[in-house]
Amino acid sequence: MRRYFSSFQGLLLPLTGGLSIGVYLRHKQKVPNVYALSDKEVAGPDGAYSPPSDDNLVVRNVQIFVRHGARTPLKVLPYLDQASWSLETLMADPPEYARYPFTVHDFHGKPLSMGLFETLSRNVIFPGGCFAGQLTLPGKRQMYQLGQRLRKEYINDQKFLSPSYSSKEVYVRSTNITRTIESAMWMVSGIYNATKEDLEKPDVPVIPVFATTEQEEILYPNHSFCNALTRLSKRIMQHMHEITGMLDDRDLLEKQIDFDTTKGRLSFVDLRDELAARLAHDMDMPPVLRQWWDKVDGYAVQVLARMVKGNDPSSKIQREVLRLACGPVVEMVLGNMSGVVQHRNGFKLEVYSCHDSMMIALIIALDIWDGKWPPYAADLRFELLEDRTNPGEYFVRVRYLGDAKVLSALHSEEVKEMTTVYPLKDFTSNFIDLAISSRHHREQCQVRTDYTDPLTEEDDDEGSYFIAAKPSK
Print the domain residue range for 88. Answer: 57-223+317-439
CA distances from 219 to 78, 173, 253, 362, 389 (A): 30, 9, 34, 11, 36
Q: Specify the DSSP element, H or E, that contains 440.
A: helix 438-444
Task: Please tell me the predicted confidence (pLDDT) of residue 463.
Answer: 55
Task: Please tell me the predicted confidence (pLDDT) of residue 403.
Answer: 97
> Long-range CB contacts (< 8 A, 24+ apart) of 27-32?
28/4, 28/437, 29/4, 29/5, 29/338, 30/2, 30/4, 31/3, 31/4, 31/5, 31/338, 31/428, 31/432, 32/338, 32/341, 32/342
Cα separation, 397 vs 362, in Å, equals: 14
Is the residue at 258 inside a domain? no
105 neighbors 209 (Cβ within 8 angstroms) = yes
Task: Please tell me the predicted confidence (pLDDT) of residue 49.
Answer: 63
Is the residue at 390 inside a domain? yes
pLDDT tens digits along 115-138: 889 999 999 999 999 999 999 999
In the predicted model, is pLDDT for residue 292 greater than 80? yes
Is the residue at 467 inside a domain? no
pLDDT tens digits along 167-200: 999 999 999 999 999 999 999 999 999 999 999 9
The mean pLDDT value for 191-213 works out to 96
Is the residue at 277 inside a domain? no
Q: Assign 233 a pLDDT band (cuts: 50, 70, 90).
A: confident
Q: Assign 48 a pLDDT band (cuts: 50, 70, 90).
A: low
Is the residue at 448 inside a domain? no
Q: Assign 29 a pLDDT band (cuts: 50, 70, 90).
A: very low
334 neighbors 384 (Cβ within 8 angstroms) = no
Cα separation, 362 vs 213, in Å, equals: 21
CA distances from 177 to 22, 39, 89, 139, 374 (A): 20, 47, 21, 15, 19
Identify which has the larger pLDDT, 403 or 469. 403
CA distances from 105 to 68, 181, 389, 447 (A): 19, 11, 40, 31
139 neighbors 68 (Cβ within 8 angstroms) = yes
Q: Is the pTM of this model over 0.95?
A: no
Q: Write the Ramachandran bin of 448: left for phi over 0, alpha for psi from -120 to 50, otherwise beta.
A: beta
Is the residue at 470 inside a domain? no
Task: Please tell me the predicted confidence (pLDDT) of residue 418.
Answer: 74
Task: Please tell me the predicted confidence (pLDDT) of residue 54.
Answer: 87
In the predicted model, is pLDDT for residue 164 greater than 70? yes
Q: Assign 462 a pLDDT band (cuts: 50, 70, 90).
A: low
CA distances from 367 to 363, 378, 400 (A): 6, 17, 11
Task: Please tell me the predicted confidence (pLDDT) of residue 45.
Answer: 43
Beta pairing partners, 26: 8
Identify which has the larger pLDDT, 6 or 269. 269
When divided into structural domains, the chain yields a total of 1
Q: Which CATH number goes with the domain that contains 136?
A: 3.40.50.1240
The mean pLDDT value for 89-114 works out to 96
The mean pLDDT value for 392-401 works out to 97
Is the residue at 358 inside a domain? yes
Is the residue at 288 inside a domain? no
Task: Please tell me the predicted confidence (pLDDT) of residue 25.
Answer: 34
Q: What percentage of the chain carries pLDDT values higher than 90? A: 72
Strands (E), 94-199: 102-105, 170-174
Task: Please tell me the predicted confidence (pLDDT) of residue 5.
Answer: 30
Task: Please tell me the predicted confidence (pLDDT) of residue 43.
Answer: 44
The mean pLDDT value for 259-268 works out to 94
221 neighbors 117 (Cβ within 8 angstroms) = no
Q: What is the mean pLDDT of the chain?
A: 86
In the predicted model, is pLDDT for residue 237 greater than 90? no
pLDDT tens digits along 306-364: 888 877 665 677 788 999 999 999 999 999 999 999 999 999 999 999 999 999 999 99
Q: Assign 391 a pLDDT band (cuts: 50, 70, 90).
A: very high
Residues 6 or more apart from 34 whose CB is under 8 A from it? Answer: 338, 341, 342, 392, 394
Q: State the amino acid at position 451 in one-letter form.
A: Y
- How many other C-beta atoms lie within 10 A of the C-beta of residue 413? 6
Task: Please tell me the predicted confidence (pLDDT) of residue 238.
Answer: 83
Task: Please tell me the predicted confidence (pLDDT) of residue 44.
Answer: 44
